Structure 1
Amino acid sequence: MSTKALRPARELLLKEYRGVLSTLSKSMPGYPFGSVVPYCLDVHGQPLILISRIAQHTHNLRQDNKCSLLVGERDAEDVQAVGRLTVLAQARPLSEPTEIAAAAERYYRYFPEAAGYHQAHDFDFWVLEPVRHRYIGGFGAIHWLDQVTLANPFDGSTEARMIEHMNSDHGAAISHYLDLNDLPATVPAQLVGLDSEGMHLRQGQSIHWLPFPSVCNTPTQVREALVLLARADQWPAVEQVAG
C-alpha cells in the first residue's frame, strides 16, 4: 500500500460531492446497479448520503448492504488520465435520533434544497462505512488503500460556530478565497464545511473544497489559516505530509 496515495485519494473524496453508487440488484440478482448520488463526509470522514426508501438502490441495500461509490474528477477531458476513487463499503442506515440530527445539520449545509426530504418524501440518511479503496491517480498510478478516511477534529458545534462566524462577519474573505482559486464570484458563496485539511464553499448548486496550506487540528489553527488566506496574493502551496 502506498502512503503517498492516501492524501490525493482523500482530497478527491473531499473535492467531489457526487458519485456513482453501485449496489447489488434485488430484482436482477447477480447484476450491479448504478445510480448517481450526492454526498458529503460525516464527522468520521465517511460518505453520507440521503436516499429515498422507495428508490431501487435502497431496496438493494436493505437486502445486501455491500456497495461501492465511484468518484472521479469533475469536468475531466480524459477520464482515464485523471484521478478516480472507488470506495468499497458497507452501507448503514442511521437510526439513532442524535446521529440523524448531526447528519441532517451537516448534510443540509451542503445541500439545502434537500432539507425536509426524509420527512416529506420518506428519505433516510445512510453512511457508507469503507472497507477498502481503489485509487487511480492517472496512467499507471494504481493503488489499493485500506484507510483513506480521516476523522474531522471539529465536532458539530465547534464547526458550526466557526462557519457561522465566517459567513456572518467575513464575506469579503470568502470572496477573496474564490478569487485566489479563479472561481467566478458572480454567485455568492458560503462556507459550509471545515476539516483539518481544508474548507468547503457552496456556490448555488456547486461545492468547492479548498485546501489549507498545512493541517489544522485546532480552531486556533483554522483561524490562523483563514486569516493567512484572506491576506494572501495567491493560494499557498500545500505542505506535503505522508497520509
Structure 2
Amino acid sequence: MSAQAVKNARQLLLEEYRGVLSTHSRSMPGFPFGSAVPYCLDANGWPLLLISRIAQHTRNLQTDNKCSLLVGERAAEDVQAAGRLTVLAEARQLVDPPVVEAAARRYYRYFPEAGDYHRVHDFDFWVLQPVRWRYIGGFGAIHWLDEVALANPFAAGDGAQEQGMVAHMNDDHAAAIAHYVEQAGLPASPPAQLAGIDSEGFHLRIGQALHWLPFAEICETPLAVRQALVAMARR
C-alpha cells in the first residue's frame, strides 16, 4: 500500500464536503441509485451524513446498508485526470443520544443551515463505516486501499476539546483567520469561520463553502495545534 496514495486520498476526503452516495435501489431491484449529499467527517474520520427519513436513499439503506460514496476534486476541468475517491462502506444510523448530540454539534459547524431542517423535519445522522477505498490520483495512479481514515483526537467523546479550540479562534482571532484566508487565496467575503480542526489541518467555512488548509506537520495535542496556527499567522 502506498503511503503517499493513502495521504492523498485522505486529503481529498478532507478537502471536499459533498459527493455522490450510491445505494441499492429498493423500488428498482438490481439497479444502483445515486444521490448528491454533503458530508463532514466524524471523530473516526468517517463520512457523517444528515439525511431525511423519507429520502429514497434512506429507504434503500434501511433495506441494504451497503453503499459507496464517490468524492471528486471540485471544479476539475478534466474529471479523468483529476483525483477521485470511492468509499465502499456500510451505513449505520446514529441512535445513542450522546453520540447524536456530538455529531450534531460538529455537523452544524460545517453546515449551520442544517440545524433548522433537522429540528423541523425528520432527518437522522448516519455514518459510513469504510470497508475499502478506491483512489485514483490521475491517469495510471490507481490504488485499492484498506485504511485511509485517520481518527480525529480533538473530536473524540463529546467533541468538547475541538469545539473549545474552534470557538476560541472564531471569538478571539478573527485577524489570524483573515490572514489564513489571504494566504490561501480564498474569498475574503463573507468573513471566514473555523468549522473544525483535525490533526492534519483545519476547515474554514466561507459562506456555504468549506476549505481545508493543512498544517506543516501532524498535530496530536492542542498545544501543537496552537503552535501550528501561530506559525501560519506569522508567515
TM-score range, shorter chain: over 0.9
Determine the structure 2 residue equivalent to 1:130: 130
Determine the structure 1 residue equivalent to 2:188: 185
Determine the structure 1 residue equivalent to 2:32: 32
Q: Which of 198, 201, 216 is the aligned partner of 1:198?
A: 201
Q: Which of 224, 228, 233 is the aligned partner of 2:231?
A: 228
Number of residue pairs matched by the alignment: 232
Once the two structures are aligned, what percentage of the paired residues are identical?
70
Q: SS where residue 26 of structure 2 aligns? A: coil
* 1:98 is the counterpart of 2:101: no
Between the aligned partners of 1:119 and 1:228, the Cα distance in structure 2 is 40
Instruction: Report the CA distance between 1:184 and its aligned residue.
Output: 1.7
Structure 1 residue ranges without an equivalent (≥5): 233-243
Letter of the 1:107 counterpart: Y
Between the aligned partners of 1:125 and 1:138, the Cα distance in structure 2 is 33
Determine the structure 1 residue equivalent to 2:72: 72
Between the aligned partners of 2:73 and 2:118, the Cα distance in structure 1 is 29
* 1:53 is the counterpart of 2:49: no
Between the aligned partners of 1:193 and 1:109, the Cα distance in structure 2 is 7
Determine the structure 2 residue equivalent to 1:168: 171
Q: Is the 8 A contact 2:72 2:83 kept in 1?
A: yes
Q: SS where residue 115 of structure 1 aligns? A: helix
Letter of the 2:227 counterpart: E
* 1:212 is the counterpart of 2:215: yes
More off after superposition, 151-160 vs 115-124: 115-124
Q: SS where residue 217 of structure 1 aligns? A: coil
Instruction: Report the CA distance between 1:4 and its aligned residue.
Output: 1.9
Q: Tell me the TM-score normalized by structure 1.
A: 0.94
Between the aligned partners of 1:68 and 1:207, the Cα distance in structure 2 is 22
Between the aligned partners of 1:108 and 1:4, the Cα distance in structure 2 is 31
Between the aligned partners of 2:223 and 2:131, the Cα distance in structure 1 is 33
Please provide the CA RMSD for this pair.
0.7
Between the aligned partners of 1:74 and 1:84, the Cα distance in structure 2 is 10
Structure 2 residue ranges without an equivalent (≥5): none
Letter of the 2:72 counterpart: G
Q: SS where residue 113 of structure 2 aligns? A: helix
Q: Tell me the TM-score normalized by structure 2.
A: 0.98
Instruction: Report the CA distance between 1:187 and its aligned residue.
Output: 1.4
